[in-house]
Amino acid sequence: MHKKGEYNTIHTAVKGFTLIEVLCSIAVFSLLFMTALYIQINAVKIKNYNEDADRYTLIMEYIKNNVRCNFSYEDILNLHEEGRVYLDCRNLKSEDIEKVKLYGLFSSVKPSREPYIILNIAAGEVLKIDLQFYGKIYGDVKVDKYEFYRGNY
């Protein structure tokens, strides 16, 4: 048989052990919950990154192809001579970009925020056209450069 003091000591140890089990369970559950939450937040960030990158790629491809195929040699020289080399892409939506008249969107004022495009031209018999797309992804400004040539033939 147990003495009166021994029984209380054993009973208290069992209660303390149960309390430690509960605290460990709560800690493990909290760690698993925080890990799952962290994974979900990163999944949303990656989804937003992919949507922005896709949108920026579509806009840049459309502008590059439009300048390359639909602008004449004189149109490109006029933009360069007038200093209209900036194109603000914030209001361009990939869904309705084909309805926009691109020539009128070029401006001589540098946009205050990304995304925007800078049109650099090296004049001559054959124009060297350099499009630089500035876009903000994950808080960093990314620059994509496209270079092509347009001749006066």
Return contacts of 78-85, CB within 8 angstroms, 24+ apart: 79/103, 79/106, 79/119, 79/121, 80/119, 80/121, 80/123, 82/108, 83/108, 84/108, 85/118, 85/119, 85/120, 85/121
Check residue 28 and give its pLDDT. 97
Confidence at residue 32, expressed as pLDDT on a 0 to 100 scale: 98
Angle at 134 between CA 115 and CA 60, to 5 degrees: 75
The residue with tokens 């989804």 is 47
- Residue of 93, 143, 149 whose CA lies nearest to 117: 143
**pTM of this prediction exceeds 0.85:** no
In tens digits, the chain (153 residues) has pLDDT values of: 555 555 555 555 566 678 888 999 999 999 999 999 999 999 999 999 899 888 888 888 888 888 888 888 888 888 888 988 898 888 877 666 667 778 888 888 999 888 899 999 888 888 899 999 998 887 888 888 989 888 766
Residue 148, classed as helix, strand or coil, is strand
> Which long-range contacts (C-beta less than 8 Å, at least 24 apart) are formed by 50-56?
52/135, 52/137, 53/137, 54/94, 55/94, 56/89, 56/115, 56/133, 56/135, 56/137, 56/144
Instruction: Give the pLDDT confidence score for residue 73 in this predicted structure.
Output: 86
